[in-house]
Structure 1
């Protein structure tokens, strides 16, 4: 178990009345505990908060008038690592739980139907189970170049597979797509984690359904998966965007900070402290 302090500062210039939806808060998840958190938004904004029951993703929405907008989230989160059995098997499609089945299907960014032949050629000979997923992770790490700015918000796994360059979300999408093409359910996970290079930002990894449980993998190799503070879980990046808006805005500042600590004793192990505040701006 370890403790991380995470913070996001987002500033926008709103051009016209705009509706925003944010997903930047630490998720309600069994392997992490929110010790304290604070969300601050510009004065005059009234956020509506809700949690997706299926994923634990937490969202807040609001309408904003033209002018500057500030969103600031800060939290202390305990993350508890889980051991992984290196002999986990793949689960036959007919035995998949109903709520897991849809993680097999192609999605906007993960065209597993298009990459089926390539997945079979590269990994069809691998022993079924966690070792096959690790082979996928190794291939993505060795064959896709990490290059900030090399892709856009509309780049898909098939495009990255062809051009062999991308960022963390692209690495995750390719891993997810190759798994699904081999009938292994997989999904994206985004969160906060500390790493040396590049500068701090939201980080995307993926998890695969093996032996009746989800197992995390990071094809970038940028940080240990068991140190990630989970924000969002979804079928692909469209489910876990940190910001979605309906209107016209310009982002003027984006800052993500992560600081890891040794675990500290807390007198209260109950509910997290949540403070919703308005600030000038």
Structure 2
């Protein structure tokens, strides 16, 4: 399967502003590219890439005063298979986890495990450890939160998602991650492209998507509490502890988003 994806976004800055961008696809997907994948800036600016502490490909720029347009479009190969389902994937004892995985058991900016531990243990302690437990968490979150673009809140934590019972894909991911961590299952936040491929299209504008991965049986597996069904055509951009680590842009000064267009679609022969 061939997928066309990309974006055209713009920021308005009143003064020169340093920015960190997480707008590249993840290095693990670069081998699947069928075309080039480069960020284009208008006006032209000096940009240089780096790899952050989570292995994500990022970019540094100084946005000039006025409007900075950032765009890319590319084609990428995808297997066309839905997300892997591995019911036999085991849950590890904490003592057996690799050192670099332990950070994904800890509380983070949006994953306030200290506020949800009692809920997690009272709800999921009787579930079968491993894949079944993570799936039970996804079903719980899927049924608890009502998706609504109008109720997006950049300050909402996992506990906020639990109490508000509404939000967007990041809220589903944060609550799922936090409940997993409370049950000693490492979980990390993912962001990327997810088009309406293999499912009926929805009328909402295309956006980047958020989901999470849980560490089971020595591997990171994809889980999506918002959709709660295996999906086709995910293109990973970045992973981290929560949305803070994978923000599309982090600006060191005022920067107002003034354009946001995303495309993700199957290329039909």
TM-score normalised by L of structure 2: 0.91
**CA distance in structure 2 between the partners assigned to 1:47 and 1:156 by the alignment:** 32
**CA distance in structure 1 between the partners assigned to 2:76 and 2:164 by the alignment:** 37
Q: How many residue pairs align between the two structures?
A: 261
What's the CA shift string for 1:184-217, capped at 9, x where partnerless? 0000111001132322101000010111111101
What's the CA shift string for 1:172-192, capped at 9, x where partnerless? 000000000000000011100
SS at match of 2:133: helix
2:225 alignment partner in structure 1? 219
2:157–2:171: 8 Å Cα contact kept in structure 1? yes
What's the CA shift string for 1:204-235, capped at 9, x where partnerless? 00010111111101111177445210001011
How far the C-alpha of 1:31 sits from its partner, in A, is 9.0
2:40 alignment partner in structure 1? 40
Q: Which of 183, 197, 201 lines up with 2:207 in the alignment? A: 201
> Which structure dedicates a bigger proportion of its chain to helix?
2
What's the CA shift string for 1:114-169, capped at 9, x where partnerless? 10000011111111110011011011111110011313211100011111111000
SS at match of 1:38: coil
**Root mean square deviation of aligned Cα:** 1.9
* Range 9-18 or range 228-237, more displaced: 9-18
Q: How does 1:239-258 map to 2 (within 5 A)?
A: 239-258=245-264
SS at match of 2:140: helix
2:153–2:167: 8 Å Cα contact kept in structure 1? no
SS at match of 1:10: strand
Does residue 1:181 correspond to 2:182, yes or no? yes
SS at match of 2:111: coil
How far the C-alpha of 1:94 sits from its partner, in A, is 0.4
**CA distance in structure 1 between the partners assigned to 2:159 and 2:28 by the alignment:** 31
SS at match of 2:138: helix
Q: How does 1:126-275 map to 2 (within 5 A)?
A: 126-195=127-196, 196-197=201-202, 198-221=204-227, 224-261=230-267
SS at match of 2:76: strand
SS at match of 2:15: coil
1:73 alignment partner in structure 2? 72
TM-score normalised by L of structure 1: 0.87
* Range 220-229 or range 232-241, more displaced: 220-229
1:41–1:71: 8 Å Cα contact kept in structure 2? yes
1:216–1:225: 8 Å Cα contact kept in structure 2? no
> Which structure dedicates a bigger proportion of its chain to strand?
1
1:274 alignment partner in structure 2? none
**CA distance in structure 1 between the partners assigned to 2:10 and 2:228 by the alignment:** 27
SS at match of 1:190: strand
**CA distance in structure 1 between the partners assigned to 2:208 and 2:67 by the alignment:** 23
SS at match of 1:29: helix
The answer for unaligned runs of 5 or more in structure 1 is 265-281
**CA distance in structure 2 between the partners assigned to 1:172 and 1:199 by the alignment:** 20
C-alpha distance 44-167 of structure 1, shift in aligned 2 (>3 A): same
**CA distance in structure 2 between the partners assigned to 1:139 and 1:252 by the alignment:** 36
How far the C-alpha of 1:83 sits from its partner, in A, is 4.1
The answer for unaligned runs of 5 or more in structure 2 is none
2:139–2:228: 8 Å Cα contact kept in structure 1? no
2:84–2:222: 8 Å Cα contact kept in structure 1? no
